[in-house]
Amino acid sequence: MRLSELPCPDPAAQAASRALAERLEAELRMQGNWISFARYMELALYEPQYGYYAAAGAQFGRSGDFVTGPELSPLFARTLARQVAALLQPGDAVLEFGAGSGALAAHLCDELVALGVGGYRYLILETSRVLRERQRERLGARVQWLERLPEGFRGIMLANEVADAMPVHALTWTRSGIAERGVCVNEGELAWCERPAAAEVLAAAQEIAIDLPPSGRYESELPLAAPAWLRSLGTALEHGAILVIDYGFPRHEYYHPQRSMGTLMCHYRHRAHADPFFYPGLQDITAHVDFSALARAAAESGLDLLGYAGQTQFLVNCGITELLAAEDHADIARYAPLAASAQTLLSPAEMGELFKVLAVGRGIDQPLLGFAQGDRSQSL
């Protein structure tokens, strides 16, 4: 996709992006004209006034920039509710991270009612103030919002497409070593600039085995924030499970020789492209999740690995096909879009295979419904 093919933002959006670019440039001046890509991504997505998720612009759903599983189909949350219901114990809470438009919470709570499950609290921890407001409008008193991670949490933590939105470092491997791809201003424009990797980044990068392609250059991302986040969840979890759902791979696939351009992806009005400097603040920037790094982080905070599977396998194990079969086939206006959305969630060519579900936890003895068949924990 050429950038000239992307739709042009309206003048107000362009002005907001310009304001964010000026903040970025001010920080670059203070930092000697270089910041890590992780810092750039943090500001582009979360700068409190103009960052993509902080500003009113972050749009989910068909009319926005991208569609997530819960946005696409109520079947996603209804199926996940079956796993949540099987795990919930008296006095437990459900804690959702990064609830976006609130679609998952809304459908999941409805389905728990339908399953006769009650007596739990549904909590949301959302970093974006604007999204918190949007969630409040949709969910009202059914949910409580937290400002920070609770201590001694008992219950189920859920994070759908949150880990991919956490800042990553960008690196280049060549025959002469590992360099960090950061951001600078070059000829008046934000641009990539390489320099030797900082000690902490270098140490983590040196643990990764990279097969250099014939070109002698391999670019990829190093996600450090997501594992750190999972470690903090592990510390907060006294009893229960954490389900992380996202697109990504185990480490050996993440750094596969054929993926020599990395996994960084930008989304703007349903167009995917690879330029993170296109209108900062107006587009989503993501990187795939290294699920091996998440599993390791969980183990470091004393959590057990409860399961790892592709989204298709997890949803089928939890009963998505039975849920769809129970719908009224004669009601074509309702059934046809529901069946089409199930197809997108499950098809290996769409979300079914790229998206994975990782479950880790503490004090859970029973096998999890979602991993009854096709558990791929061994691949992590």
Number of residues that bind ligand SAM (CB under 6 A): 22
Give the strand pairing for 265-268 and 169-174: unpaired
Instruction: List the one residue from 37, 40, 50, 97 that touches ligand SAM (CB under 6 A).
Output: 97
Kindly state whether residue 281 participates in binding ligand SAM, applying the rule CB under 6 A. Answer: no
Q: In the bound complex, what is the minimum distance in angstroms from residue 108's beta carbon to ligand SAM?
A: 11
Kindly state whether residue 246 participates in binding ligand SAM, applying the rule CB under 6 A. Answer: no
Kindly state whether residue 355 participates in binding ligand SAM, applying the rule CB under 6 A. Answer: no
Instruction: List the one residue from 79, 83, 160, 260 that touches ligand SAM (CB under 6 A).
Output: 160
Kindly state whether residue 99 participates in binding ligand SAM, applying the rule CB under 6 A. Answer: yes
Kindly state whether residue 125 participates in binding ligand SAM, applying the rule CB under 6 A. Answer: yes
**Token pair of 75 as six digits:** 């079947």
> What residues form DSSP beta bridges with 217?
174
N-to-C CA span, the chain = 33
Q: In the bound complex, what is the minimum distance in angstroms from residue 275's beta carbon to ligand SAM?
A: 19
d(CA 125, CA 315): 24
Of 111 and 161, the one with the shorter C-beta distance to ligand SAM is 161
Kindly state whether residue 156 participates in binding ligand SAM, applying the rule CB under 6 A. Answer: no
d(CA 206, CA 290): 16
Of 255 and 268, the one with the shorter C-beta distance to ligand SAM is 268
| Amino acid identity for residue 296 in this structure | R
State the DSSP code for 232. H
d(CA 286, CA 37): 12
d(CA 312, CA 320): 9
Kindly state whether residue 290 participates in binding ligand SAM, applying the rule CB under 6 A. Answer: no
Instruction: List the one residue from 64, 74, 100, 227 that touches ligand SAM (CB under 6 A).
Output: 100
Token pair 């993926």 is found at 259
User: How many angstroms from the chain centroid is the CA of residue 148?
Assistant: 19
> What residues form DSSP beta bridges with 146?
125
**Token pair of 81 as six digits:** 């509710």
State the DSSP code for 66. B
**Token pair of 357 as six digits:** 């579900």
Beta sheet of 271-273, edge-to-edge order: 271-273, 265-268, 284-286
Kindly state whether residue 165 participates in binding ligand SAM, applying the rule CB under 6 A. Answer: yes
Kindly state whether residue 351 participates in binding ligand SAM, applying the rule CB under 6 A. Answer: no
Kindly state whether residue 263 participates in binding ligand SAM, applying the rule CB under 6 A. Answer: no
**Token pair of 111 as six digits:** 């389905």
H/E element, 70: helix 69-72
Of 94 and 197, the one with the shorter C-beta distance to ligand SAM is 94
> What residues form DSSP beta bridges with 242?
157, 360
In order, the DSSP letters of 304-329 are: EEEEEEEHHHHHHHHTHHHHHHTS-T
Kindly state whether residue 70 participates in binding ligand SAM, applying the rule CB under 6 A. Answer: yes
Residue in the shown chain whose Cβ atom is closest to ligand SAM = 98
Kindly state whether residue 161 participates in binding ligand SAM, applying the rule CB under 6 A. Answer: yes
Each residue 29-68 as x (binds ligand SAM by CB under 6 A) or -, in order, gives ------------------------x------x-------x
Contact 342, 324 (CB under 8 A): yes
Q: In the bound complex, what is the minimum distance in angstroms from residue 179's beta carbon to ligand SAM?
A: 27
Kindly state whether residue 235 participates in binding ligand SAM, applying the rule CB under 6 A. Answer: no
Contact 259, 220 (CB under 8 A): yes
Instruction: List the one residue from 153, 229, 255, 371 that touches ligand SAM (CB under 6 A).
Output: 229
Instruction: List the one residue from 128, 172, 263, 317 that touches ligand SAM (CB under 6 A).
Output: 128
Kindly state whether residue 127 participates in binding ligand SAM, applying the rule CB under 6 A. Answer: yes
- Residues at the site binding ligand SAM, with contacts judged by CB under 6 A: 53, 60, 68, 70-71, 97-100, 103-104, 125-128, 131, 160-162, 165-166, 229
